[in-house]
Structure 1
Amino acid sequence: MKKLLIVDDDESIQLLYQEEFKEEGYEVAEALNGESALEQFKQSPPDLVVLDIQMPGLNGIEVLRQMKMLNAAIPVIINSAYNEYKQDLGAWASDEYVVKSSDMSELKTAVRRLVG
């Protein structure tokens, strides 16, 4: 079973993603902030990370940079409510950029494409 790490400070998004991805057959770990995400990434590396940008403390761009330095082979999907971050050079290190939506089909497709 492939393990996803969902990093988002919005607990309702976490709950939604957890339910949706468990139904798809994935194991789901969660982190509410960048520091916790990095700790989990080191302790129990996931097969893929879904990462928000706007979070208190370390933002998603910094977390992405550190994750790629630790293990560049693990795919990271930036999942932000803000489309303008696509232009941020830091976001280019992500494997995919998906704008948050009530329709999760684009995110699910990206996850399947990156980890099966």
Structure 2
Amino acid sequence: MHLLIVDDEKNIRQLYAADLQDAGYEVETAEDTTTAVELLNRYTFDLVVLDIHMGNESGLDILQDIVQKKKDLPVILCSAYSCYKEDFSSWLADGYVVKSSDTSTLKAEIERVLAKRSSKTTGENA
């Protein structure tokens, strides 16, 4: 599984990439929305982990682009703020996690979203 991590915080990108690679995922990282779009155009991803607030940029802007151009690509929103958790579904995201140095919640959410997508795809092909 090929994942894209989009976050302006270098430490978070490195932590998530290392832990997810250790868990068997292939991981690319982007520090901003411009780099994320370039990577999305260059590679095929199975899932995107997207920071909501990135300096002067909003991950929600690229979320709209992903939904329009790659509607089957699941996106998990990631934020330091838990207050967005109740609203993430209205943003067309597939999941939401609060940033943490403990990546177990992120890994569980990735597994949940990928399993949901897999069962949905299997159901469509049946």
Fold match (TM-score > 0.5)? yes
1:53 corresponds to which residue?
52
Q: Distance in 2 between matches of 1:110 and 1:66?
A: 22
Question: Residue 93 in 1 paired to residue 92 in 2?
Answer: yes
Q: Distance in 2 between matches of 1:101 and 1:89?
A: 18
**Aligned residues: percent identity?**
42
Structure 1, residues 11-52: CA drift from partner, whole Å, max 9, x if none? 111110111000000000010001111121122121100000
| 1:6/1:51 contact within 8 Å kept | yes
Quote the offset at 1:102 in angstroms. 2.4
Question: Residue 71 in 1 paired to residue 80 in 2?
Answer: no
Aligned residues, how many? Answer: 115
Letter in 1 for 2:2: K
| 2:50/2:78 contact within 8 Å kept | yes
| 1:77/1:95 contact within 8 Å kept | yes
Superposition misfits of 4+ residues, deviation over 4 angstroms: 87-91
The runs of 5 or more residues in structure 2 that have no matched partner are: 116-126
Bigger mean CA deviation after superposition, 3-12 or 81-90: 81-90
| 2:97/2:106 contact within 8 Å kept | yes
1:110 corresponds to which residue?
109
Bigger mean CA deviation after superposition, 82-91 or 18-27: 82-91
Letter in 2 for 1:100: K
RMSD over aligned CA atoms reads: 1.8
Q: Distance in 1 between matches of 2:53 and 2:89?
A: 13
Greater Cα radius of gyration, structure 1 or 2 = 2
TM-score, normalising length: structure 2: 0.83
The runs of 5 or more residues in structure 1 that have no matched partner are: none
| 1:78/1:96 contact within 8 Å kept | yes
Greater fraction helix: 2
Quote the offset at 1:67 in angstroms. 0.8
